[in-house]
C-alpha cells in the first residue's frame, strides 16, 4: 500500500476517523448507471489516485477512478456504495484528482439504512450532501452534520464525468448491549468506534492507521512521525470505542526496522465533558497506564502485568520515545 499523501489543509475528520468506504474493510461499489471509461470499484481504492500518461484501454484513456461516458440524454449518472460498516458519517471527500476536462460540474450524495446487501427500490434515501459545485483535479471536503447511522450511499454526478476517489469518514455503530460485560474487546479498534483525537506529528503516516484491523501490510500502513531534532517525544491521543478497564496492551512495529521508536508509554483517564481540543493539554497530566517500555524492530510487544489498574477510562495518550513508526496499537479491556 502506498504511503498516504497527507493534505495539510484537510479538515480534522480526515485524520480522526476511519474510511467507511474502504474496500479492505468490506465496502463495495454495488451498481453504477454507467462505467464506460473507468469502473466504479476503482473509486474506492485505498491508495491515492495516479495519472499514467499514454496509457489507454479499449474504451479510451485509462483513468484512476470511476468515469462515465459523455451523456447525450437527459438525466445524470450515479453509483451506489455499500459501506464497510453501518456508521455515523462525519465528513466526505469527493476527490477529482487528475480529472480536468472530464470531471462532473456538480455532485450530491444520498444515504440510507438497509438490512439487505443492496437497498430495495423503496429505500428511504436521505440527502446528506446537497448538489455541490465541483472543480477539476482537487479534493472536495464536505462536513456532514447528521447523527444517524447509514449503511449505503448513492453518489450522484451531474450530468456525467469522473470521480477519482470517494472517502467516507465516520464511526461504525456498535450495539454494545450485545457485548457481554467482562469479555475482552479491543477498545482502540477503529471498527469498534475508537478514533484519533490528536497527534503532534503525522508526517509519514496518519496516527489513525494504528487503530486499523489486521497487521500493517507495509511501512506505509501505520503512524510514522518525522525525525525529531529537538528534545521531547511524539504522542497521539485516542478516544476509546467504549469506556472500559484496560488489562492488556499490544504495540506492533511491523515493517518498522530502522525507524521504530526506542520505547513507548501510555497514560489514560476517564474524561467527561470538554472538547477533543481541550484534551491535548490535559493529557500531559493523566495517570500512567503503562510505564515506559523498550521496543524492538518489526515485532509485536505485549504488555499485561505491567499495566496499571486505573479502573474505567475513556481516553489514552500513547507516547513514543523519541519518534518513529508504529503499525498497530491494541488496548484489550472489559467494557464498563
Backbone angles phi, psi at 177, to 5 degrees: -70, -20
**Grid-cell match 506505509, residue found:** 220
Which is higher by pLDDT, 108 or 7?
108
pLDDT at 277: 83
Is residue 90 scored above 70 in pLDDT? yes
Q: Which residue has the higher pLDDT, 173 or 7?
A: 173
pLDDT of residue 77: 98
Question: 307 or 4, which is more confident?
Answer: 307
Tell me the average pLDDT across 151-159.
Answer: 98
Whether 13-172 and 181-335 share one fold: the answer is yes
Kindly state the average pLDDT of the residues 204-212: 94
Report pLDDT digits (tens) over 259-282. 999 999 999 999 998 788 889 999
Average per-residue pLDDT for the chain: 95
User: Given this model, what pLDDT does residue 126 score?
Assistant: 97
Alpha helix ranges (H) inside the chain: 13-16, 279-282
Mean pLDDT of 137-162: 98
pLDDT of residue 2: 41
Look at residue 5 in the predicted model and tell me its pLDDT. Answer: 55
The domains of the chain are located at 13-172, 181-335
DSSP output for 206-228: -GGGGGSSS--SSTTSSEEPPPP
Cα–Cα distances (Å) from 59 to 35, 49, 62, 263, 321, in that order, read: 11, 19, 8, 53, 53
Average confidence (pLDDT) over 70-80: 97
CATH class of 181-335: mainly beta
Contact 203, 256 (CB under 8 A): no
With residues binned 3-state (H G I as helix, E B as strand, rest as coil), the percentages for the chain, rounded to 5, are: 10, 40, 50
pLDDT in tens, 308-317: 999 999 999 9
Contact 66, 163 (CB under 8 A): yes
* pLDDT recorded at residue 55: 96
Indicate the fold that domain 13-172 takes in CATH: Jelly Rolls (2.60.120)
Using the predicted structure, report yes or no on whether residue 1 has a pLDDT greater than 80. no
Is the peptide bond prior to 159 cis by the omega test (within 30 degrees of 0)?
yes
For 217-246, what is the mean pLDDT? Answer: 97
Grid cell for residue 131 = 448538489
Amino acid at each position: 500500500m502506498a504511503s498516504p499523501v497527507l493534505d495539510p489543509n484537510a479538515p480534522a475528520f480526515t485524520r480522526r476517523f476511519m474510511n467507511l468506504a474502504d474496500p479492505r474493510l468490506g465496502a463495495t461499489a454495488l451498481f453504477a448507471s454507467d462505467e464506460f471509461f473507468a469502473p466504479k470499484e476503482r473509486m474506492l481504492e485505498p491508495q491515492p489516485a495516479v495519472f499514467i500518461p499514454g496509457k489507454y484501454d479499449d474504451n479510451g484513456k485509462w483513468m484512476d477512478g470511476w468515469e462515465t461516458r459523455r451523456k447525450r440524454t437527459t438525466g445524470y449518472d450515479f453509483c451506489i456504495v455499500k459501506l464497510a460498516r453501518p456508521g455515523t458519517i462525519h465528513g466526505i471527500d469527493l476527490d477529482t484528482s487528475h480529472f480536468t476536462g472530464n470531471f462532473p460540474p456538480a455532485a450530491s450524495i444520498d444515504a440510507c439504512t438497509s438490512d439487505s446487501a443492496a437497498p430495495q427500490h423503496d429505500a428511504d434515501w436521505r440527502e446528506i450532501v446537497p448538489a455541490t459545485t465541483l472543480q477539476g483535479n482537487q479534493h472536495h471536503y464536505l462536513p456532514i452534520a447528521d447523527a444517524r447511522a447509514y449503511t449505503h450511499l448513492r453518489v450522484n454526478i451531474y450530468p456525467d464525468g469522473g470521480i477519482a476517489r470517494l472517502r467516507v469518514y465516520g464511526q461504525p455503530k456498535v450495539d454494545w448491549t450485545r457485548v457481554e460485560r467482562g469479555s475482552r474487546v479491543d477498545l482502540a479498534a477503529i471498527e469498534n468506534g475508537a478514533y484519533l483525537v490528536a497527534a503532534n506529528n503525522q508526517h509519514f503516516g496518519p496516527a489513525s492507521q494504528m487503530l486499523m484491523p489486521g497487521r500493517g501490510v507495509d511501512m506505509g500502513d501505520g503512524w510514522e512521525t518525522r525525525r525529531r531534532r529537538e528534545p521531547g517525544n511524539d504522542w497521539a491521543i485516542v478516544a476509546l470505542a467504549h469506556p472500559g478497564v484496560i488489562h492488556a496492551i499490544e504495540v506492533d512495529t511491523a515493517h518498522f526496522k530502522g525507524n521504530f521508536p526506542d520505547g513507548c508509554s501510555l497514560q489514560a483517564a476517564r474524561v467527561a465533558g470538554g472538547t477533543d481540543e481541550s484534551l491535548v493539554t490535559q493529557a500531559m497530566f493523566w495517570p500512567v497506564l503503562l510505564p515506559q517500555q523498550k521496543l524492538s524492530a518489526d515485532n509485536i510487544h505485549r504488555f499485561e502485568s505491567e499495566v496499571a489498574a486505573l479502573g474505567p477510562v475513556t481516553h489514552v495518550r500513547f507516547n513514543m520515545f523519541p519518534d518513529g513508526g508504529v503499525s498497530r496499537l491494541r488496548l484489550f479491556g472489559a467494557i464498563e
